[in-house]
Amino acid sequence: MILATLAVAAVVTGGFMYAADHVDAPAVTGASTDITDVYAFRAQDPNNLVFVGNVQGLLSPENTAAAQFDENTLIEFNIDTNGDAVEDLVIQAIPKNKKMRIYGPYKPTMTGSKSQIAVNELSVEVDVTPYGSAAISKTGKGITAFAGPRDDPFFFDLVQFRKILAGETSGFNNPGTDFFKGTNVMSVIVEVPKSLLGSGNSLNIWLETKKKI
């Protein structure tokens, strides 16, 4: 399956890092390809790393119940292990029949704006958790995965930020007002043993959504 890139989240590097991008890309705003956040951090088990990719932001509780992952949209974590800004490993997630299939991490046959799924690299398949249900996770080949709606974890006072840009005020309030409170995202979470991610001391990680062509 060959897919073309439609959206890319900002790069994150090493440690506990995240990048956020809510409704900033007009071509994909409100679409299944719209990325909101990417996170990477050490798991409770220090031998593992957790990757989180969130899409379809600003979902109200009412709209979350009907939200679904798009079976024609690939969610891809790109992992650069040698600092050249080219993915050396990928973790790919694509839904099918209300299940999320997780492939990798593995060395991709294509890099950049197009991807191909190696079906023999399937690691785990997990049921998509319905809204309002207890989280469903599953482990396969040492990799644990979750897919489904979650409360948007990103905190930002967007209203105050816009006032700063407009010159109406000089800074943020303490405490601020969480613009994203009460909204949800569709989330893919993958916990991976570090041993599957190479032997380097740092990783560059970015998230892409790619549409089937």
Dump pLDDT digits (tens) for 75-134: 999 999 999 999 999 999 999 999 999 999 999 999 998 999 999 999 999 999 999 999
In this predicted structure, what is the pLDDT of residue 202?
86
55 in any annotated domain = yes
In a domain, 47, yes or no: yes
Q: Is 137 left (phi over 0), alpha (psi -120 to 50) or beta?
A: beta
Buried b (16+ CB within 10 A) or exposed e, 91-115: bbbbbeeeebbbbbbeebeeeeeeb
Domain contains 162: no
Report yes or no on 67 lying in a domain. Answer: yes
In a domain, 195, yes or no: yes
173 is a domain residue: no
Q: Please indicate, yes or no, if residue 177 is contained in any of the structural domains.
A: no
Give the pLDDT band of residue 21 (cuts 50, 70, 90): low
Residue 103 is encoded by which pair of tokens?
A: 């492939």
User: Is 125 in contact with 138 (CB distance < 8 Å)?
Assistant: yes
DSSP code of 107? -
The parent domain of residue 93 ranges over: 2-153+184-212
Query: Rounded to an integer, what distance in angstroms lies between the CA atom of residue 6 and that of residue 3?
Result: 9
Taking residues 151-161, report their average pLDDT.
90
> What's the number of domains the chain is made of?
1
| Residue 140: inside a domain | yes
pLDDT bucket at 34, cuts 50 / 70 / 90: confident
What pLDDT score does 46 carry?
A: 94
